[in-house]
């Protein structure tokens, strides 16, 4: 079975887009949302004719609470297997998405975040403890997705966080978590993540995505966009 873009479904919860890819025996879900939104998630699934028990895998693009918030609840209710990068494990086990290395990407966002922090003081979520049955990604993984009927690969795409991973399908669809965004662009951020650990590492990840064939970026925050838009910022010289 080959997954085409027609087999991709999007569930929008607040400012995060969660993507469902058809896989053998059900679905692979890319990311969840903040804790407390599981009920809303189930309702939205119902509207597109999917039940939570159809979810066989949950791929966490990284450990932040707007991506992993109700992961533990989903696993408890569905028995789905978690896929995460090794660098995510300790933060997931602590249920803590605060990272001293993160910083806003520019001054305007620094101001936006100062206000945001007044309302969002907690960065905690119910701990996610990976078990033996779960899948720990180290570096890039070209095999796992193919084994579950998805024609794509998992790429390590750090820069936003050191544990960030992306799913790249063979048709060029790239589900990148927060490695690139289409969000708060009035702040002058372009497609950069609004929060970063290291911007040069973000650009290296963009370069990897493009070199591996990314054509359309599906970010967790904002609408999908042409991957060619990453080229200038990443100072790429790739003709497509
Ligand atoms: Zn994030
Ligand atoms: Zn995010």
pLDDT tens track for 157-188: 999 999 999 999 999 999 999 999 998 787 77
Top-confidence residue, 91 or 194:
91
In whole angstroms, what is the distance from residue 150 CA to residue 155 CA? Answer: 14
In whole angstroms, what is the distance from residue 191 CA to residue 236 CA? Answer: 15
Ligand 2 centroid, distance to 1 Cα (angstroms): 31
Query: Full-prediction pTM beyond 0.95?
Result: no
User: pLDDT, tens digit, for every residue of 24-82?
Assistant: 999 999 999 999 999 999 999 999 999 999 999 999 999 999 999 999 999 999 999 99
Ligand nearest, relative to CA of residue 221: 2
Q: Which CATH architecture has domain 5-233?
A: 4-Layer Sandwich (3.60)
* Residue 167 near residue 154, CB atoms below 8 Å: yes
CA 174 to chain CA centroid, nearest Å: 10
CA 162 to chain CA centroid, nearest Å: 13
Flag the least confident range among 101-115, 162-176, 182-196: 101-115
Question: Highest mean pLDDT: which of 5-14, 115-124, 202-211?
Answer: 202-211
Q: Is the pLDDT of residue 234 over 80?
A: no
Tokens coding 49: 């004719």
Nearest one of 164, 152, 143, 146 to 206, comparing CA atoms: 164
Ligand 1 centroid, distance to 62 Cα (angstroms): 7
Top-confidence residue, 230 or 105:
230
In whole angstroms, what is the distance from residue 119 CA to residue 9 CA? Answer: 31
Ligand nearest, relative to CA of residue 220: 2
State mean pLDDT over 209-229: 96
State which residues have CB under 5 angstroms from ligand 2, the bound ion.
66, 178
Ligand nearest, relative to CA of residue 163: 1
Ligand nearest, relative to CA of residue 195: 1
Domain locations in the chain? 5-233
Ligand nearest, relative to CA of residue 14: 2
Ligand 1 centroid, distance to 148 Cα (angstroms): 26
Ligand nearest, relative to CA of residue 164: 1
Question: Apex CA 133: angle with CA 127 and CA 136, to 5°?
Answer: 70
Ligand 2 centroid, distance to 64 Cα (angstroms): 7
Ligand 1 centroid, distance to 68 Cα (angstroms): 10
Q: Is the pLDDT of residue 19 over 90?
A: yes
Q: Which residue has the tokens 């290291």?
A: 198
DSSP helix/strand/coil, 207 = helix
């Amino acid at each position: 079975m080959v997954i085409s873009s027609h087999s991709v479904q999007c569930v929008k919860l607040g400012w995060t887009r969660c993507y469902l890819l058809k896989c053998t025996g059900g679905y692979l879900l890319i990311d969840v949302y903040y804790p407390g939104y599981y009920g809303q998630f189930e309702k939205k699934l119902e509207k597109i004719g999917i039940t939570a028990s159809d979810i066989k895998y949950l791929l966490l693009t990284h450990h932040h609470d707007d991506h992993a918030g109700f992961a533990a609840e989903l696993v408890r209710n569905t028995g789905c297997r978690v896929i995460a990068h090794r660098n995510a494990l300790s933060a997931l086990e602590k249920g803590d998405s605060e990272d001293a290395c993160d910083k806003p990407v520019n001054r305007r966002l620094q101001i936006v975040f100062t206000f945001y922090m007044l309302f969002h003081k907690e960065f905690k979520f119910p701990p996610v403890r990976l078990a033996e049955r779960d899948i720990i990604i180290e570096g890039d993984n070209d095999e796992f997705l193919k084994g579950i009927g998805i024609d794509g690969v998992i790429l390590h795409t750090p820069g936003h966080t050191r544990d960030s991973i992306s799913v790249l399908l063979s048709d060029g669809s790239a589900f990148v978590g927060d490695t690139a965004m289409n969000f708060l662009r009035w702040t002058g951020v372009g497609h950069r993540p609004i929060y970063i650990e290291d911007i040069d590492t973000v650009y290296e990840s963009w370069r990897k995505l493009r070199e591996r064939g990314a054509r359309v970026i599906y970010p967790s925050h904002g609408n999908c966009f042409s991957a060619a838009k990453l080229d200038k910022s990443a100072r790429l010289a790739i003709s497509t």
